[in-house]
Homo-oligomer: A and B are copies of this chain.
Amino acid sequence: METMTRIEQALQAALASGETSGCPPKLAAAMRHAVFPGGARIRPQLCIAVARACGDSDPALADAAAVAIELLHCASLVHDDLPCFDDAPTRRGRASVHCAYGERLAVLAGDALIVLAYQTLGLGGSRSPARLCRTISTVSRGVGMPFGIVAGQAWECEPRVALSDYQRAKTGALFAAATAAGAESAGVDGETWRALGEWLGEAYQVADDLRDVLADPETLGKPTGRDVALGRPSSAREQGLLGAIEHFDRLVACAIEAVPPCRGSSMLRELVRTEAERLVPRAWCQRVERQHAERTAAARRAHTPSAAT
């Protein structure tokens, strides 16, 4: 089965498990709004791609790990969009959960999605319970304290933070969990697979900073220019656009380099390349380079005494 079909079906099944008669209907709707239609589903895709590259010997656990990681990602988006954080009116091209259902249901939908993530893992792990223990630990490490995405978000509440620590926790952690859990679901040591996820996560965060400046809001499905507006740490601000693009390219190269030897390694490298082009299209780089060249030339002209006068 196509990876995306597999992911969407598993997500549908997970959500449906809680939507029995007698459940609070608005919470069910708010949870669904947070998960469907999805974004690029890059984390669960990565998880399943790694599981496949490692032999995919327990597809039920691989699906459960992929779903858990995507639900945890969706939960974090719902809570990050809340008025006390980004106060984002839109997400994925439509109203954010708190705008559509109110703040209370947004808080509860996030909570219920976190619970559903682990419930799905518990169910999917029943055939390989020993692997399940490792996968729970791996997934939790990507989300909780001290270095998971919730900890990453918490750095926004501290007076000082190193950009790389912030990015590693806020994005890299869940990518590393996706690659490690994918491997573990297939009975392979997850540690050797963490580096791929870490590089990709870092690349993704830099891409996110770039997209906040370079993409148009319609393509992005959310308002742009939020990092500057909210005074958030951003690679694009720290390194300039050209510097950030070069940084992104280096991170993608490191990710490709970090794919461990396995049957599916060339497929994985290709996935990384495709994803990099989707995130930061070549056309953007050319645009930024052209603008940079024009600015440099203009500055040179302004500082060179004209021979004619």
Could you list which residues of chain A lie within 8 angstroms of chain B, going by C-beta atoms?
17-20, 22-28, 31, 75-76, 79, 82, 84-85, 102-105, 107-108, 110-112, 114-116, 118-119, 121-123, 125-126, 129-130, 132-133, 136-137, 140-141, 143-148, 150-151, 153-158, 165
Contact = CB atoms under 8 A, between A and B. Distances in A.
A123 B134 CA distance: 8
Contacts of A24: 145-146, 151, 154-155, 157-158
B104 A107 contact: no
A118 B116 contact: no
Contacts of A150: 27, 108, 111-112, 115
Copies of this protein chain in the complex: 2
Chain A contact residues: helix, strand, loop or mixed: helix
A115 B143 contact: yes
A88 to B, nearest CB: 14
Nearest to A123: B137
Q: Which of A28, A82, A140, A143 has the most CB of B within 10 A?
A: A140
Nearest to A127: B133
The 10 closest A-B pairs by CB, nearest first: A18-B145, A122-B136, A23-B146, A129-B129, A115-B144, A119-B140, A27-B154, A24-B154, A84-B103, A118-B118
A149 to B, nearest CB: 9
A192 to B, nearest CB: 21
Contact of A133 (B108, B116, B122): B122
B112 A147 contact: no
Contacts of A154: 24, 26-27, 105, 108, 112
15 contacts: A19-B146, A20-B146, A24-B151, A24-B154, A24-B157, A24-B158, A26-B157, A26-B158, A27-B151, A31-B145, A107-B107, A108-B157, A112-B150, A119-B140, A129-B133
